[in-house]
Chain A
Amino acid sequence: MTIGDGAATPSDRADVLIIGAGPSGGVVAEHMARHGFSVVCLEQGRWVNSGEFPAIKPEWELLAQKQWYPEPNVRGNAEDYPTNVSESDVSPVMFAGVGGSTLIYSAHWMRLLPSDFRVKTLNGVADDWPITYEDLAPYYDRMDAAVGVAGLEGDPMYPEGMVPPLPPHPIGKIGRIAARGMNKMGWHWWPSPNAIASQKHGEFARCARWGTCETGCPEGAKSSFDLTHWPTAIRHGARLITGARVSTITVDAKGRADGAVYVDATGREHRQKARLVVVAANGIGTPRLLLLSAHGGAPNGLANSSGLVGKRLMLHPNAEVTGIYDEPLDSWLGPAGQAIHSLEFYETDPSRGFVGGAKWQVMPIGGPLRALSLHDRRPFAEKWGPAVHDRMDETLGRGLQWGINSQDMPEETNHVDLDPTLTDSNGIPAPRIRYRLSENTRKLLQFNLDRAVEAHEAAGAVRTVATDLWPEQPGHLLGTATMGTDPATSVVNEWNIAHDVPNLAIVDGSVMPTSGAVNPTATITALALRAAEHLTNNARWQEISE
């Protein structure tokens, strides 16, 4: 399906071809179309109507286990591609469609901290970014405004100047109880920023506290990028072609990107020519596509003279501790979303025995099936039979979760390549993920799990249930086409342009040299906006394909 000028198979040469209509693709499309460039975007998924979201159905929890599950191998949609995760501790989470994974993200809108851009300088490991927090801050500000972040100014763990455009959401009973514990411990917490409208904001409705953000917002209050950017991009002339799965980025005689080959929903192959190609296919899809695009001049993959395409995969391994309290917390109430967050253990402290840290966030629990699942590790007689009713009474609406989003370091052994046998529904090789938790990450997770138990105990929890590692969370796909100044040790430069291919930009999470420990969509889109502005401002000098 084509939205825009109605052409089903555009063969005209576009100024800009964007691959992927997720958040970063949407940002680039909106910016460049607004500035007069002809933009075509190829997206393998489709538009998802908010009426399809399962929140309004009593079966919401059941539907979230399968059709709306975040891991594509479980969903099994034809527009998703499968991933081989047999050698991975964590399964990448993503969603193919207009808006990408923001359709099912929890909209925790967090900025990296200044130290995240200087990991090598401060800690002696990994890399520094070629840019600083101060370089990115103006783009964070613009993205905050574009998505309508609801939050509260003054978080002491951030530099001054971060002013969310909308007031915060209520932190609710779960936030207040958790804060009570943090105060007893003397630990940092702050009402959280969310890309969820706390007031009516432009086209966005005011949040009505559905607790279903991670299966789509039925209210139209969550800033998914099918709503924030694509309508404007299309109004400015961008052509968005859905059901278009790119198999190869093509190059001209000089090795410059000149378009892409894609397969439509019927299996028919097309070519789209372009002067400039922007890849926005996420930290798994982008290296997959670059490796699929190997050619005679780049036998190891497009833009891969460094050998780092697909390497240094970072996934922010998540853990959580749920506290069960002897008081009603209405913990099915949204947004979900984060109520409060803590950066108490974010910065590296060498005395802890590991490098890096974690961001914590309080989230609601959900409905009865989730409440029961918290007791999965108990013996039969303690969960089932007459006990099931006691567990339900003790747990439903009385739990709150401290989620732990951990920093993982870039390691070349954690990587994405092409699976020799597994393919997507079009027969294109699927990605193979090899991701193992390092000893550093394991220590980091255990330290934070122990502290989260303490936080719950201080808050008065009668019981805690820990998940040491969430194997299918959180969908932060980072690091596989890293940014840097040296072409020998990085894939793209500080403006997201491939060192090897002067008219190929990569604008998703794959460019992040280090992961930080905060939810990355704010950073990814700020980087994408910065890259799009650079491309727009420097178009006169931009080398393009023949």
Chain B
Amino acid sequence: MTHLSEQERHTLWRIADVLVPATSTRPSLRDADPDGIWLDRALTARADLVGAAKEELARFESVDDLESAIVELHDTERVRFDVLATAVTGAYYLVPAVRELIGYPGQHRTPPRLEEAAEELSDEIFEAAMNYPGSYRPTPR
């Protein structure tokens, strides 16, 4: 499913260049997701935002000084800004290469070693909890 037209996607990429720009260590959204695969997945997950996102993209399509316009939107119309920011960051941080760069493995099975809990409670950190002097408040029967 493609939620955005080619024009809309290009406008969103321009906005992404303002919000999450390329640096020497991080790619831009257009470079990280050139086919818009992750953008579409993000918008499928937040399909409720697609209509509002399209409206915003239409508004910003021919804006020249996009950075100033986006900053103004952030400062004055936060709900509208959040629609665009959610689409941009939602897509950007789905891209596997970006996740690798930020060190996020995603949610997955990571069962602990069986002895891990006991080991964590075997030093002076837990000693203090066991020696805590307080108690619950007694109640009259």
Which residues of A does B touch, CB under 8 Å?
A: 55-63, 65-66, 113-115, 117-118, 121-122, 132-134, 152, 154, 156-159, 167-172, 175-176, 179-180, 182-183, 188-191, 198, 206-212, 219, 332-333, 343-344, 347-348, 367-369, 372, 380, 384-386, 388-389, 392-393, 396-397
Contact = CB atoms under 8 A, between A and B. Distances in A.
Contacts of A344: 134
Given A183-B128, A190-B129, A384-B19, A114 B139 contact: yes
A189 B130 CA distance: 9
Given A59-B94, A175-B120, A176-B125, A133 B107 contact: no
B26 to A, nearest CB: 5
Contact of A133 (B19, B99, B139): B139
A368 B132 CA distance: 36
Q: 7 tightest A-B contacts by CB?
A: A62-B45, A59-B45, A183-B128, A208-B109, A368-B93, A115-B137, A170-B116
B117 A169 contact: yes
A109 B100 CA distance: 35
B89 A369 contact: yes
26 contacts: A59-B41, A115-B139, A122-B139, A156-B135, A157-B136, A168-B117, A170-B112, A171-B117, A171-B121, A172-B120, A176-B120, A182-B128, A183-B125, A188-B129, A188-B134, A191-B121, A191-B126, A209-B111, A210-B109, A211-B107, A368-B99, A369-B90, A380-B74, A380-B75, A384-B19, A385-B21
Contacts of B58: none
A188 B132 contact: yes
Contacts, number: 159
B71 interface: yes
Interface in B1-34: 18-21, 23, 25-26
Given A58-B94, A65-B46, A388 B136 contact: no
Contacts of A182: 128-129
Contacts of B112: 169-170, 209
Contact of A154 (B110, B130, B134): B130
A211 B108 CA distance: 9
A435 to B, nearest CB: 24
B52 interface: no
Interface residues on B, range: 35 or more
A367 B93 contact: yes
Contact of B120 (A117, A170, A380, A385): A170
B110 A122 contact: no
B139 A385 contact: no
Contacts of A190: 129
Given A208-B110, A210-B109, A367-B93, A396 B104 contact: yes
Contact of A397 (B85, B103, B121): B103
A329 to B, nearest CB: 12
Contacts of B75: 380
A154 B121 CA distance: 13
Given A117-B139, A176-B120, A388 B19 contact: yes
Contacts of A211: 107
B74 to A, nearest CB: 5
A62 B90 contact: yes
Nearest to A168: B117
B125 A333 contact: no
A384 B135 contact: no
Given A114-B137, A189-B132, 15 more contacts: A58-B41, A59-B94, A114-B138, A122-B139, A134-B141, A156-B134, A157-B136, A170-B112, A179-B129, A183-B128, A191-B129, A208-B109, A210-B108, A211-B107, A368-B89
Contacts of A180: 125
A121 B139 CA distance: 9
Contacts of B117: 167-171, 191, 198
Contact of B103 (A132, A209, A396): A396
B97 interface: no
Contacts of B120: 170-172, 175-176
A397 B105 CA distance: 10
Contacts of A63: 45
Identify which of B20, B129, B130, B138 gathers the most chain A CB atoms within 10 Å of its CB. Answer: B129
A172 B110 CA distance: 12
A152 B107 contact: no
B42 interface: yes
B63 to A, nearest CB: 16
Nearest to B48: A66
A211 B134 CA distance: 32
A128 B47 CA distance: 49
A393 B23 contact: no
A210 B45 contact: no
A502 B94 CA distance: 56
B129 A189 contact: yes
A367 B23 contact: no
B103 A385 contact: no
Identify which of B18, B42, B110 gathers the most chain A CB atoms within 10 Å of its CB. Answer: B110
A62 B137 contact: no
A158 B136 contact: yes
A344 B96 CA distance: 42
Interface in B56-94: 71, 74-75, 85-86, 89-90, 93-94
A487 B52 CA distance: 53
A190 B44 CA distance: 42
Contacts of A393: 102
A454 B106 CA distance: 31
B80 to A, nearest CB: 14
